């Protein structure tokens, strides 16, 4: 049974031969490479290499430390070790180091230690990943439960609000809908009208601003698409805010952008639109008195 697969990298053929013989005696499968580029080719073609042991100084091509960096980047499950007879080299302290000359027993002992430490690190990493996955699953479950609770709470608030709209002498909210998508505009306006809202509709920003200026009563909420031909939703909201500062704004958009007021991401559920309107109206002083 193999004790593991070791790739030894050195430009000296006699060194490769000696190391191969020493490691093979202890049941290791040994691969050899005369340089860093050859070592990377071997790593790319092998199913798995447990440890790369490389000379620091190569006759040509990449150095041992450069090879170690590439192995760590592309093969994180493979352990690494450097060896050299030049002790004045500045090496990464996190990389195991074997000083030449060394005995076969020292080589095998350091190889065994490197493999044990690599397996322990892999097991610790796997345990950490499992813990993180479990925490992520728990977080998703809690987040889903919170969202469901919030949705149910908003739904109940919307139902209470709509029931009070049907009471005698209730003050009916007035909503201006600016949307250039005719099908969506019809759905929104029809939905709000059925619930008891007074709805004004416009196919673009310019028409919405004209309707607002001609309408003599208050407008409680503007529901506007952001992207519209001509006067866009942001320009419409700014113009309307200057003339009707008490009008609340709700944007609808398919873009992931920051907006200066509440926004619904398209496509949205009509119940979510209702919840947004009810939420903004709950802070509207004149309507709060009569409907809440």
CA 81 and chain centroid, separation:
35
Please compute the mean of the pLDDT values over residues 63-83 and round it to a whole number: 92
pLDDT over 70 percentage in the chain: 96
Q: Does 4-125 carry CATH code 3.30.565.40? A: no
| Confidence at residue 250, expressed as pLDDT on a 0 to 100 scale | 96
Domains 4-125 and 166-291 share a fold: yes
pLDDT tens across 236-248, in order? 999 999 999 999 9
User: Over the range 98-120, which residues count as b (16 or more CB within 10 Å of their CB) and which as e?
Assistant: beeebeeeebbebbeebbeebee
> Which pLDDT score, from 0 to 100, does residue 47 have?
72
Least confident of 4-18, 84-98, 163-177, 262-276: 84-98
Lowest pLDDT segment from 89-103, 167-181, 186-200 = 89-103
Which option is the CATH number for 166-291: 3.40.47.10, 3.40.50.300, 3.40.50.2300, 3.10.180.10? 3.40.50.2300
Burial of 135 (0-12, 13-18, 19+ CB in 10 A): exposed
Strands 262-265 and 248-253: parallel
Q: Rounded CA gap, 55 and 65, in Å?
A: 9
Domain locations along the chain:
4-125, 166-291
The answer to whether residue 284 scores a pLDDT higher than 70 is no
Contact 1, 26 (CB under 8 A): no
d(CA 162, CA 284): 16
Yes or no: say if 277 and 173 are a contact pair by the CB < 8 Å rule: yes
Instruction: Determine how many CB atoms are found less than 10 A away from the CB of residue 208.
Output: 29
CA dihedral 204→208→210→211, nearest 10 degrees, is 140
Q: 97-99 and 174-178 as β-strands: parallel, antiparallel, unpaired?
A: unpaired
pLDDT digits (tens, 9 = 90+) for 111-127: 999 889 888 888 888 88
């Amino acid at each position: 049974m193999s004790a593991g697969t070791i790739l030894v990298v050195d430009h000296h053929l006699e060194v490769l031969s000696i190391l191969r013989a020493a490691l093979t005696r202890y049941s290791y499968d040994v691969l050899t490479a005369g340089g860093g580029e050859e070592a990377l080719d071997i790593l790319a073609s092998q199913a798995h290499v447990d440890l790369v042991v490389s000379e620091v100084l190569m006759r040509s091509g990449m150095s041992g430390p450069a090879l170690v960096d590439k192995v760590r980047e592309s093969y994180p499950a493979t352990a690494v070790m450097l060896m050299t007879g030049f002790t004045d080299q500045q090496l990464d302290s996190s990389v195991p180091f074997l000083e030449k000359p060394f005995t076969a027993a020292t080589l095998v002992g350091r190889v065994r230690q490197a493999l044990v430490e690599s397996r322990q690190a892999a097991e610790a990493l796997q345990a950490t990943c499992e813990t993180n996955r479990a925490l992520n699953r728990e977080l998703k479950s809690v987040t889903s439960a919170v969202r469901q609770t919030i949705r149910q709470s908003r739904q109940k608030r919307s139902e209470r609000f709509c029931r009070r709209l049907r009471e005698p002498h209730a003050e009916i909210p007035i909503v201006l809908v600016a949307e250039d998508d005719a099908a969506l505009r019809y759905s929104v306006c029809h939905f709000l009208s059925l619930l008891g809202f007074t709805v004004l509709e416009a196919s673009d920003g310019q028409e919405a601003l004209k309707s607002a200026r001609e309408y003599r009563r208050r407008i409680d909420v503007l529901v506007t698409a952001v992207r519209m031909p001509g006067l866009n939703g942001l320009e419409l909201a700014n113009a309307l805010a200057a003339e009707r500062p008490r009008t609340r704004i709700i944007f609808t958009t398919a873009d992931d952008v920051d907006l200066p007021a509440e926004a619904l991401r398209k496509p949205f559920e009509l119940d979510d639109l209702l919840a947004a309107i009810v939420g903004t109206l709950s802070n509207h002083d004149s309507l709060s008195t009569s409907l809440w």
